[in-house]
Each structure stands twice: as structure tokens, then as C-alpha cells.
Amino acid sequence: MSGTETKGTSPAAPDLTPHPPAMPVEHPAPDDSLGGEEMVLNMGPQHPSTHGVLRLVVTLQGETVKSIVPHVGYLHRGMEKIAEGMTYNQFIPYTDRMDYLAPLSTNVGYILAVEKLMGITVPPRARVIRVMCCEIARISAHLLWLGTGALDLGAATVFFHTFRERETLYNIIESLTGGRLTTSYPRVGGLCRDLPPGWTKQVADFTASFPKVLDELDNLLTGNTIWMQRTQGVGVIGAPEAIALGVSGPNLRGSGVAYDVRKTEPYLEYETYEFDVPIGSKGDVFDRYLVRLEEMRQSIRILDQALRRLPEGPINIDDPKIVLPPKKGVLTKMEELIQQFMIVTEGFPAPEGEAYHAIEAPKGELGFYIRSTGGKSPYRLHIRSPSFVSLQAIEKMAVGGLVSDLIAIIASLDPVMGEVDR
Amino acid sequence: MNGPYIDPNPPRPVVDRLRERFPEAGLHVEEFRGEITVTLPAERLVEAAQFLRDDPETAFDMPIACVAVHWLEGEFEHDVMWQIYSLGKNHRLRLKLRLRPGETAPSLTSVWSGMNWTEREQYDLVGVRFNGHPDLRRIIMPEDYPDHPLRKDFDVEGGPAALDGDGRPVSPGFRDMEHA
């Protein structure tokens, strides 16, 4: 790790700069009981370590991976086609089901693309709340990755600790949105409702207690000899190859490229928040692990700043053609009733044109491309999901390694199939 | 940026570089919300992409995505767009190619290897064929699937739509809602 990285605060945390002493990574020559013959192994689509329905056809010689062919599409629901028959707001629930580990972040990514196309800027309070949504989603997604990734390599304890913290986060998400998994919280032009009473206290309690837990998790794994042997020098990808493949997010930063959309193309005033972009140096599984661990600390920093600056004020833009009127008005006033009726049944037209907007989702650059011909629904919606692109790198990382390392590599890429297949 | 990020300095110098290098290509340039779209002729596309990647002024080193759009009417059947990004220069560009019925697009996998899966996806879902793609197989739909579901003449309920006399789908989808 280099440059912007900050170390864990616990006194027992090992020094991470430079890498802990390198473990021998050469493995003994595998036993050649097949007489040099190759074996084709089918892994998935139902396999616990593929985190969903990913199928890999692996050609092995002994235990060495000779070639690997990924098959995706088992979770295809035709979201891009469905979007063509819906109003812009109607599509929000579908974005929950893309990266279902960080639905708040996917919601915000989609809404920002629509708002870019329509030329909308939401009020300050909505911007800060959206930033908090994105960072809560990032911590929650990284915690799941950490727990299951460690579980895949046999470290079961970590899983229970991360899921306890995720439970707290899901309670926070539930009191904000009413749902734990399917949030559908933002709307075009703002948010569907304001913060519930006591919500900021819930978040403040979490940001106060979580760094200690993170240090514990850090202690459990970072200096652990077994963990280091399983992850160091495994699944290496260099920066030039990763860039040429379009890999983004923590997977690219693990290879030492400080590309973070929040820094390079700051949306929602991310340029006014103080946070660092951690990067790795070797591009192996261990570096990607360190990067994600540090990103959770940075998300806590952002959450703290957002809590301090959270302004009072409206959460929606003042445009009755786009934003639903308050329910009380709908039940008592004719005009509001008509407004609600028109928005729900007819939607609102977007200007003709095309727009692409990217956000830094927990998995990397999540982009929505919208082609509008002026109607209430997109003529074409394309979702550039980071997991889909990252999965391409699996061949570069796994070929030549051992089949058991493949498990570590899949976990370190952190793909979520809902987003790959859409 | 207060809301969505809109590039305050769209990369117009990139367009000038392209015009300088390919004066005869007749580039068509659009700008909307800080994004620049350059429409190129198919025969110069790979060359232009290579130039955009290798020229130190443009330095587009990162592939983002390939997107295809199907049109039911008009001269062109497909628009194919390649989104690219430059890490060093922090600018984006969209290359666009317009295809008449029966035409194929050149593949840009030789320039950016990361265009591989995303071009396969557009072939699979929209039905654009890419010349020179190393592995043009279906990726999302099953291998034996007969259709390209993101074409506009494909009904959302699961098959090619019934067409009226003018060749337009009788229903754009959601039949159950329309006939309820």
C-alpha cells in the first residue's frame, strides 16, 4: 500500500507498509496422476463460492488451471427491455435488484443519469442524504464481501462479525426507506420521503462504534499467516492489463491506479468531502482486500462529514410536473389530485438526446446510458455494470494458478450476478 | 457538481485532433450535457480508435462500454456507440457508427481488449454483428436462443411482435395491460 493509505488505529494492527514479509508463493509441482491429461471441471452455476449463479468451465492439468471460460446470464431478467415500457420513476424498483447488496447506491446512480438527461439539480438536503445513502451502501456491500470472502477461504469467524454489523446497517436502511433490501428511496427530482426522527442519531452511533469493529476484523485477517498465504501473490493483474480490460473500482485500485469516479468526476458535491483513495501496489487478492478494508474507513469519514453538514430545507425540487405532491394535498385539493394522477399515469417527458452518467458504486464504475426520443420512457437504457466488466479479468488472473486459488480470486473480484446479468 | 456530474470542459481539443488527422472522414460531432459524440464512417473507425488510444493528447486508455440502439424506421437500422475514457486526461468520448440494414460494425476489441464482452452483449441482445471480433458468441441469452430481444420489433412478453401493414409492431409490449 502506498501514498494515501491510513493505518488502523489499534495498537496490535501490523504495519502494512510495505507488505508483510513475503510468503513463499511457489507451490510444489502438482501430482500428475492423470498422466498429463487435461480434465474439464464444471463449476457452478450453483456453487457457494460463485456468490450467485456464475458458471465457470475450467480446464485443469493436475491442479493447475489451463483455461477458463465464464458463462453468465443465468439471472437475466431483461431489465433494459423492461425500462423501455416504463416511466422514469417506475424503473427505480428494478435498480434495487441489480446490485442487491448495495441497492441505495444503484438507485442513486440511475436517478442521477435521469437528472443529467433532464437537467435537474436537487436541493442541498437531498444531495447530502443521497451521499449518505451511497456510503452506507458501500460499507454494507464491502462487509458482505469481507464476510463471505473469508468464509470461502475457511475463515468462518469473520462472517459472523460482519453480519452483526450489517444487521445494524440494515436497521438504519429499514427506518429510512421502509425496506431492508429493496429500498427504492430516491425519486427523480429528490427523495420519496424525508429522514425519520432519530435517524441521524442511529447513523452517528454506527459511525462511532464501527471503526473499532473494523480494527478487530483487520486484526483477524491482515497479519494472519494463513490468510496471507492464501491471498498474497494470488490472482495478480497489472495496471495496464486491468485498464485495457476496463476494470474499475477496488479491483483497479488494488493494481495501483487511483481511479475513483467520486474524485475524477465528482457528483453530488463529493469534491467538498475529505476522503482518501486507497490503492494497492501488486494487484493481488491481498491488495484488493486491503483497499476495500480501507474504503470502509473512508466511507465512515464521509458519513461523519455528511452528518455534520446536513442542512434543513426541502428534499425535492419545486416542479409539480415532476415531483409528486404531498399526500395530504392529494386527499383534500383538486389540483394536487390531478398532478398526482398525471405523474403516475403519464409520467413526464425527458428532452430528446443521449446521456451517460457514472457513479462510484461499491463494485466500481456504474454507468447508465439513456437514449431519449422525447417520451415518458427511455428509448434505450443501457447499464454499464462494474461486475460484468470485472469478470472479464478472471481469465488473466486465474490461468496458470491453482484451482483452489480460483475461489480466492472470485471472492476478491466481488461480482454480484444480479448486476452482471441484469 | 451540485447534482449529476456534467463535464465543465468537454474535450473539444480531441475533436480538433481527430479532424486534423482524418480531414476527409467528414466527422459529425454532437454535444449534449457536456458529452461529445463523434460519428465516424465504418472504414476509418478502427484506425481512429487506435489513434485516440495512442495519441498522447487524447490518450483514451480505458474502454467503458459498447451500446447499440435499434431503429424501426429511417435510413439506419442500428446506432452503435463505444464509450471510452482517458485516465490521464480525465475526459470521455462517445464514438458512434450508424449502420444501414445488413451492414456490420468493425470490432474494437483489437484496440481495447475490454470491449470483448460488451460487444458480445450488444450482438446478443440487439443483433449487431461485429467484424473481427475474436469470440462473437451469445453471452446473456442461451446459445440456442433465436432472437435479439432488445430489437424494437421484439415484444416484451417473449417473442417477435406481430407487425402491422407498415412493419411496426402492433403492440410495443405489455399486451396484458393494453387489452385488460
> Is residue A120 a contact partner of residue A188, using CB atoms and an 8 Å limit?
yes
Chain A neighbors of B83, CB-CB under 8 A: 356, 367, 369, 384
> Is residue B24 a contact partner of residue B37, using CB atoms and an 8 Å limit?
no
Does A233 score more than 60 pLDDT? yes
Are A267 and B94 inside 8 Å of each other by CB? no
> Is residue B62 a contact partner of residue B24, using CB atoms and an 8 Å limit?
no
Does A30 score more than 70 pLDDT? no
Does A6 score more than 60 pLDDT? no
Supply φ then ψ for residue A172, to 5 degrees.
-65, -45
β-strands B35-39, B91-99 pairing: parallel
Mean pLDDT of A25-37: 60
pLDDT score recorded for residue B141: 86
Report the C-alpha gap between B92 and B8 in whole angstroms.
12
Mean pLDDT of A143-165: 89
Where do the domains of chain B lie? 12-143, 150-180
Portion 86-105 of B in contact with A at CB < 8 A: 87, 90, 92, 94
Are B1 and A268 inside 8 Å of each other by CB? yes
Residue position matching grid coordinates 452482471: A420
pLDDT score recorded for residue A209: 92
Where do the domains of chain A lie? 38-421
Closest residue on chain B to A76 (Cα): B140
Closest residue on chain A to B60 (Cα): A244
List the Cα angle B18/B22/B24 in 5-degree steps: 135
The superfamily in CATH containing domain B12-143 is NADH:ubiquinone oxidoreductase Nqo5 subunit (3.30.460.80)
* ipTM of this predicted structure: 0.85
Cell numbers standing for residue A306: 455528511
Nearest CA to B2 among A355, A107, A123, A108? A123
SS3 A209: helix
Residue position matching grid coordinates 480531414: B23
Report the C-alpha gap between A233 and A105 in whole angstroms.
32
Nearest CA to A127 among B2, B95, B60, B29? B2
Are A73 and B140 inside 8 Å of each other by CB? yes
Chain B neighbors of A271, CB-CB under 8 A: 1
- pLDDT tens digits, A348-375: 888 999 999 999 999 999 999 999 988 8
> Is residue A301 a contact partner of residue A140, using CB atoms and an 8 Å limit?
no
Min mean pLDDT across A109-118, A241-250, B18-27 is at B18-27
pLDDT score recorded for residue A298: 93
**CB-based burial label for A369 (10 Å; 0-12, 13-18, 19+):** buried
Alpha helices by DSSP H, A153-282: 156-177, 199-221, 225-231, 239-245, 250-253, 261-264
Does A269 score more than 80 pLDDT? yes
pLDDT score recorded for residue A51: 76
pLDDT score recorded for residue A168: 93
Task: Identify the band that residue A9 occupies on the pLDDT scale cut at 50, 70 and 90.
Answer: very low
Task: Identify the band that residue A115 occupies on the pLDDT scale cut at 50, 70 and 90.
Answer: very high
Does A103 score more than 50 pLDDT? yes
> Is residue A300 a contact partner of residue A168, using CB atoms and an 8 Å limit?
no
What are the beta bridge partners of residue A68? A58
Q: Is the CATH number 3.30.70.2500 carried by domain A38-421?
A: no
Supply φ then ψ for residue B107, to 5 degrees.
-85, 140
State the Rg of chain A over Cα. 23
H or E segment at A412? helix A403-413
Does A28 score more than 80 pLDDT? no
Tally DSSP H helices, then E strands, for chain A: 17, 8
> Is residue B31 a contact partner of residue B38, using CB atoms and an 8 Å limit?
no
List the Cα angle B120/A42/A400 in 5-degree steps: 80
A295 touches chain B (CB under 8 A): no
Mean pLDDT of chain A: 86
DSSP string computed for A137-156: HHHHHHHHHHHHHHHHTT-H
Are B117 and A243 inside 8 Å of each other by CB? no
The mean pLDDT values, 10 residues at a time, for chain B of 180 residues are: 80 84 81 89 88 88 92 88 91 91 90 92 90 88 82 70 60 44
β-strands B105-106, B130-131 pairing: parallel
B75 touches chain A (CB under 8 A): no
